[in-house]
Chains A and B, each alone.
Chain A
């Protein structure tokens, strides 16, 4: 088994097994037929109903679902990258959720309260979001590097601090949108200006927007950075063996702190893509916990930037399609269950490798004639 296969195979098998287990769950609570139909609905909902389209259906029946999937995939890619980048330097960023919250808030504020032409407004809002996320993750980074506080604990705490401060204070208090006329019950921040909206790429029929290519570019950039640049190499060395990196003259604190800040920036960007691309403002609460999903996405993608993008695409499709399952009475959170199980099976990577090795050993034993 090649090294690359060893890296990829457990993830693929985990996702397949998760799909199978979850199919069984529906088959057992309902019946096999429903389960299969629900899966088909999920697929059509995710990639579009191609059979119907090819038989002369509306182009929107394909474009709309793809747009939804791409939108979700973009968010998952960015939070997945956030977790993966931190992993590369040996830190477990459980705080993507909190970083994303601040990023979303920053993007919403810049989007709503700064007047600029679109070419400047969008970048500025993105930058503000990235900076906000980076600041938040750097708190955990500093606590870790200066005080030795374990980042798992500190990022968990910081998530709750972010939720409490933003959702339970800022957006229902000082930053709440001023009610206009009949809209007296509005929650969340003010609507962003049109100049700050991420442009839609396929017109109004699909919510696919600039966020998706942005996320892909981010994944590629992280991949190139880690693999091909000096500082990326240094970052990986710090993550794998910090003492050796220090002895080699690598500024370990800067690299670790930098990676953690970058992780926060990526999660912050996810918040911006959500706000500038689809929500249009910081809603009362951020809704789906994309930050936590990022942990699953990164790990299923084996902490590889491109792997994270692929696993984000897969789960983006499943989750966009998940809403369609409701037609059959299956709750829309179902894809999250698939994702949870997939992560659980990935956590059992060692089990997979042991099973695969045993198979190989058996084959070898069969092939070698007995003496």
Chain B
């Protein structure tokens, strides 16, 4: 029993970072009032660029490239939705489609259908002395993103609740006109949040191809971006809530994969499909129960126009 728990914990921590980063990125953007359905596309771009970059440079640097690539997609989103006040959902979905098709096209024309060549994974932090200690040992043997994912949500929490920038971001997501009349730049704040969100989503994608796998695969991130959105909503647009939800979803995935190998008889009773659907069903349930728009920022999705209020 303890061993099962141990391995579940280990694989949860291995798989969670991508989800955590993407959920934090989406949350950052949405708290400032910009809808972030493009997170899947940003992750895909980040994953692709990181994998390609890692062919030519050390993997940690390649991760940075992936982050910047995610921010690049976010910049297009910002240009359309902040600068030109386009519909934020449309812009995000368009970027998803472009990233989906563009990723496939570039992958096929540069490397062929089976993904990029294998790259050096991010190194893991092994502590042999601890590795076999039950449960505690599950905390070691991960690569850097895991530990980052365990700390960053708290940093984001601090940022939002305890810093001037956080206060302004919250204000701009709830009532941008109030922020504007105080001489602060609404678009500046939103740009910062959208680009920051893009960096995080790009990081989430990069982690997929440099830590979870060792290449970019054709379907990466296979809907993980949408699951990150679910985690953000489930976590009520708060960093710690999104973190908890992302961990929970990652645990669900680990449990499903774990069960498939260790207890296939259980999957006869509870089909895999149900377990796969569970995070989304739970999100729907919670939304249905708490009603309204949950705790979404008041100005979410509304382009800022100076002369209207």
A and B touch in the complex (CB under 8 A): yes
Question: Would you call A295 and B93 a contact (CB within 8 A)?
Answer: yes
Contact with B along A328-371 (1 / 0, CB 8 A): 01110110110111011011111100100000000000000000
Question: Would you call B277 and A296 a contact (CB within 8 A)?
Answer: no
Q: In whole angstroms, how far apart are the Cα atoms of A159 and B108 in the complex?
A: 27
Question: Would you call A165 and B292 a contact (CB within 8 A)?
Answer: no
Q: What B residues does A330 contact at CB under 8 A? A: 109
Task: Tell me if A173 is interfacial: C-beta within 8 Å of chain B.
Answer: yes
Q: In whole angstroms, how far apart are the Cα atoms of A158 and B285 in the complex?
A: 11
Q: In whole angstroms, how far apart are the Cα atoms of A152 and B93 in the complex?
A: 11
Cβ-defined partner of A333 (8 Å) among B84, B101, B227? B101
Q: What B residues does A334 contact at CB under 8 A? A: 101, 105
Question: Would you call A157 and B284 a contact (CB within 8 A)?
Answer: yes
Q: In whole angstroms, how far apart are the Cα atoms of A163 and B272 in the complex?
A: 12
Q: What A residues does B98 contact at CB under 8 A? A: 337, 340-341, 343-344
Q: In whole angstroms, how far apart are the Cα atoms of A336 and B104 in the complex?
A: 10
Task: Tell me if A94 is interfacial: C-beta within 8 Å of chain B.
Answer: yes
Q: In whole angstroms, how far apart are the Cα atoms of A167 and B271 in the complex?
A: 11
Q: In whole angstroms, how far apart are the Cα atoms of A329 and B113 in the complex?
A: 12
Question: Would you call A169 and B281 a contact (CB within 8 A)?
Answer: no
Q: What A residues does B132 contact at CB under 8 A? A: none
Q: What B residues does A351 contact at CB under 8 A? A: 80, 84
Question: Would you call A333 and B281 a contact (CB within 8 A)?
Answer: no
User: Quick one: which of A143, A164, A168 has the most chain B CB within 10 A?
Assistant: A164
Contact with B along A88-114 (1 / 0, CB 8 A): 000010100000000000000000000
Task: Tell me if A244 is interfacial: C-beta within 8 Å of chain B.
Answer: no
Q: What A residues does B283 contact at CB under 8 A? A: 153, 157
With A169-B271, A169-B274, A170-B273 already in contact, the answer to whether A143 and B287 are too (CB < 8 A) is yes
Task: Tell me if B124 is interfacial: C-beta within 8 Å of chain A.
Answer: no
Cβ-defined partner of A347 (8 Å) among B94, B233, B294? B94
- The size class of the interface chain B forms with chain A is 35 or more
CB distance from B293 to the nearest CB of A (A): 6
Q: In whole angstroms, how far apart are the Cα atoms of A40 and B91 in the complex?
A: 30
Q: In whole angstroms, how far apart are the Cα atoms of A156 and B35 in the complex?
A: 14
Contact with A along B268-279 (1 / 0, CB 8 A): 000111101100
With A147-B292, A170-B273, A348-B84 already in contact, the answer to whether A340 and B100 are too (CB < 8 A) is yes
Contact residues of A between 148 and 190, Cβ < 8 Å to B? 148-150, 152-154, 156-161, 163-170, 173
Cβ-defined partner of A331 (8 Å) among B76, B93, B105? B105
Q: What A residues does B84 contact at CB under 8 A? A: 348, 350-351, 354
Contact with B along A246-290 (1 / 0, CB 8 A): 000000000000000000000000000000000000000000000
Question: Would you call B97 and A292 a contact (CB within 8 A)?
Answer: yes
With A157-B230, A161-B277 already in contact, the answer to whether A296 and B97 are too (CB < 8 A) is yes
Cβ-defined partner of A340 (8 Å) among B101, B109, B233? B101
Question: Would you call B226 and A152 a contact (CB within 8 A)?
Answer: no
Question: Would you call A347 and B273 a contact (CB within 8 A)?
Answer: no
CB distance from A129 to the nearest CB of B (A): 20
Contact residues of B between 79 and 138, Cβ < 8 Å to A? 80, 84-87, 89-91, 93-102, 104-105, 108-109
CB distance from A68 to the nearest CB of B (A): 19
Task: Tell me if B264 is interfacial: C-beta within 8 Å of chain A.
Answer: no
Closest residue of chain A to B97, judged by CB? Answer: A340
Closest residue of chain A to B296, judged by CB? Answer: A150
Q: What A residues does B91 contact at CB under 8 A? A: 344, 347
CB distance from A126 to the nearest CB of B (A): 26
Task: Tell me if B156 is interfacial: C-beta within 8 Å of chain A.
Answer: no
CB distance from A292 to the nearest CB of B (A): 7
Q: What B residues does A148 contact at CB under 8 A? A: 291-293
Q: In whole angstroms, how far apart are the Cα atoms of A168 and B284 in the complex?
A: 20
Task: Tell me if A219 is interfacial: C-beta within 8 Å of chain B.
Answer: no
Cβ-defined partner of A350 (8 Å) among B85, B94, B102, B233? B85
Closest residue of chain A to B284, judged by CB? Answer: A157
Task: Tell me if A29 is interfacial: C-beta within 8 Å of chain B.
Answer: yes
Q: In whole angstroms, how far apart are the Cα atoms of A149 and B283 in the complex?
A: 11
Closest residue of chain B to A152, judged by CB? Answer: B89
Q: What B residues does A299 contact at CB under 8 A? A: 90
Task: Tell me if B223 is interfacial: C-beta within 8 Å of chain A.
Answer: yes
Question: Would you call A331 and B104 a contact (CB within 8 A)?
Answer: yes
User: Quick one: which of B273, B287, B293, B296 has the most chain A CB within 10 A?
Assistant: B273
Q: In whole angstroms, how far apart are the Cα atoms of A152 and B284 in the complex?
A: 12
Closest residue of chain A to B273, judged by CB? Answer: A169
Closest residue of chain B to A336, judged by CB? Answer: B101
Contact with B along A45-80 (1 / 0, CB 8 A): 000000000000000000000000000000000000
Question: Would you call A156 and B97 a contact (CB within 8 A)?
Answer: no
Q: In whole angstroms, how far apart are the Cα atoms of A159 and B281 in the complex?
A: 11
Closest residue of chain A to B95, judged by CB? Answer: A344
Q: In whole angstroms, how far apart are the Cα atoms of A337 and B102 in the complex?
A: 6
Q: What B residues does A350 contact at CB under 8 A? A: 84-86
Task: Tell me if B37 is interfacial: C-beta within 8 Å of chain A.
Answer: yes
Q: What B residues does A25 contact at CB under 8 A? A: 105
Contact with A along B218-246 (1 / 0, CB 8 A): 00000100110110010000000000000
Q: What A residues does B147 contact at CB under 8 A? A: none
Closest residue of chain B to A342, judged by CB? Answer: B94
Q: What A residues does B248 contact at CB under 8 A? A: none
Question: Would you call B101 and A161 a contact (CB within 8 A)?
Answer: no
Q: What A residues does B104 contact at CB under 8 A? A: 331, 333, 336
Q: Please give 6 more A-B residue pairs, beta carbons under 8 A apart, in addition to A168-B272, A295-B93.
A: A139-B284, A156-B37, A160-B223, A164-B280, A168-B273, A331-B109
CB<8 Å pairs between A and B, sample of 21? A29-B109, A94-B89, A147-B292, A148-B291, A152-B89, A156-B229, A160-B226, A160-B277, A168-B271, A173-B271, A292-B96, A331-B104, A337-B102, A340-B98, A343-B93, A343-B94, A344-B76, A344-B91, A347-B87, A347-B94, A351-B84
A-B pairs, top 8 by smallest CB distance, nearest first, are A169-B273, A340-B97, A164-B276, A164-B277, A340-B98, A336-B101, A168-B273, A337-B101
